[in-house]
């Protein structure tokens, strides 16, 4: 059911059978992996989960390409983008455009995955009934003027499935079936649901530090599953910040990765939050807009 009592939007839309077919296949493969348990395949899966989920989705698609929270050499940007394609979340044009639309209309009409349209809808219904694997929709292109001018991002958006297939073949050839099931199917499904929890659960449950015009919340558990993306209320309060965990106890692995790049001279113009103008949530407060500052800071600041 939706938050406002309306019927979950998932069940009012036609199913995208191509996307649904691959989702079903990957979930079957993930379940099958449990019958081929071995520590080495699990460790390989964990490594690939970090590569696709942290280097890829968190550091590349989200904080670099969507919000331009820091800058890197092009070869680093392209490498991180390839890592992101291993998450099976589409190419950069689709992902970035969708997320920018989400921030523009968060929890309002036009939000691609608001829990106001249903908890299941915001989690994965919008994927199963939408055109999630189609990266050149005309309606998305206005939201990615930077990416549509880049030949690599246009190409990888069209052929985003190639790196995943290559990794799958390598796992099967050099490791066998257990490595394929764990390193590709289980790892991908686990990563997908972790990312989807940011869209669904962190707009329904958790704590709120800042007043925002949406229902974003912070969740320690989801932050652990997504390398720091679960500090979602922090992020919606100050979207351009490269750092989502604002305190020492808000573990943010993606931020630590950006710091590592910065220490190597591979990241600069890193945007950090200026909390002085952020509107802190007090008892009795209602949703209100805030316009916090974001200040660029170089290595050593």
| pLDDT at position 11 | 85
Residue 2 pLDDT > 80: no
Residue 178's contacts (CB-CB under 8 Å, 6 or more residues apart) are 33, 36, 37, 38, 41
Write the DSSP assignment of 10-25 as a string of letters. GGGS---HHHHHHHHH
Mean pLDDT of 28-41: 97
| pLDDT at position 42 | 98
- The verdict on residue 22 lying in a domain is yes
| pLDDT at position 277 | 56
Number of domains in the chain: 1
| pLDDT at position 99 | 95
| pLDDT at position 289 | 38
| pLDDT top residue among 139 and 226 | 226
β-pair partners for 169: none
Residue 284 pLDDT > 50: no
Residue 165 pLDDT > 60: yes
| pLDDT top residue among 274 and 152 | 152
CB neighbour class for 160 (10 Å; exposed up to 12, middle 13-18, buried from 19):
buried
- The verdict on residue 237 lying in a domain is yes
Of 98-102, 195-199, 209-213, 281-285, minimum mean pLDDT range: 281-285
Distances (CA, A) of 270 to 3, 54, 72, 82, 237: 37, 17, 10, 22, 17
pLDDT tens for each residue of 208-246: 999 898 999 999 999 999 999 999 999 999 999 999 999
- The verdict on residue 1 lying in a domain is no
Tokens of 24: 């079903």
β-pair partners for 38: none
- The verdict on residue 2 lying in a domain is no
- The verdict on residue 32 lying in a domain is yes
pLDDT tens for each residue of 174-204: 999 999 999 999 999 999 999 999 999 999 9
What value does the mean pLDDT of the chain take?
89
Helix 74-85 / helix 151-158 crossing angle, nearest 10 deg: 10
| pLDDT top residue among 291 and 108 | 108
**The dihedral of CA 124, 128, 133, 137: what is its sign?**
negative
| pLDDT at position 3 | 53
Domain containing residue 70:
9-297
Mean pLDDT of 275-298: 48
- The verdict on residue 4 lying in a domain is no
| pLDDT at position 130 | 76
Closest of 122, 67, 19 to residue 236, by C-alpha:
67
| pLDDT at position 81 | 98
| pLDDT at position 122 | 94
Mean pLDDT of 97-113: 93
Residue 287 pLDDT > 50: no
| pLDDT top residue among 131 and 64 | 64
Residue 64 pLDDT > 90: yes
Residue 261's contacts (CB-CB under 8 Å, 6 or more residues apart) are 70, 72, 76, 267
Residue 167 pLDDT > 50: yes
């Amino acid at each position: 059911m939706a938050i406002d009592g309306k019927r979950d939007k998932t069940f009012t839309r036609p199913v995208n059978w191509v996307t649904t077919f691959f989702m079903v296949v990957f979930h079957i493969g993930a379940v099958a992996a449990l019958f081929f348990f071995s520590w080495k395949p699990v460790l390989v899966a964990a490594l690939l989960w970090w590569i696709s989920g942290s280097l890829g989705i968190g550091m590349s698609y989200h904080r670099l390409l969507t919000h331009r929270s820091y800058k890197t050499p092009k070869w680093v940007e392209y490498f991180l983008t390839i890592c992101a394609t291993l998450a099976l979340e589409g190419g950069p044009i689709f992902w970035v455009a969708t997320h920018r639309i989400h921030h523009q209309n968060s929890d309002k009409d036009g939000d691609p995955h608001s829990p106001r349209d249903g908890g299941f809808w915001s989690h994965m219904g919008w994927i199963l009934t939408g055109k999630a694997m189609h990266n050149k929709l005309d309606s998305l292109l206005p939201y990615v003027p930077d990416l549509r001018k880049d030949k690599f991002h246009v190409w990888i958006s069209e052929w985003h499935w190639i790196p995943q297939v290559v990794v799958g073949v390598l796992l099967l050839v050099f490791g066998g079936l257990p490595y394929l099931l764990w390193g590709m199917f289980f790892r991908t499904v686990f990563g997908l649901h972790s990312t989807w929890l940011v869209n669904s659960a962190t707009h329904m449950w958790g704590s709120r530090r800042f007043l925002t015009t949406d229902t974003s919340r912070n969740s320690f558990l989801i932050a652990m599953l997504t390398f720091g993306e679960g500090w979602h209320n922090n992020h919606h309060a100050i979207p351009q910040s490269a750092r989502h965990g604002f305190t020492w106890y808000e573990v943010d692995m993606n931020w630590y990765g950006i710091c590592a790049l910065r220490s190597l001279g591979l990241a600069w113009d890193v945007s950090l939050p200026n909390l002085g103008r952020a509107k802190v949530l007090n008892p009795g407060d209602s949703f209100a807009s805030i316009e916090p500052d974001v200040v660029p800071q170089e290595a050593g600041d």
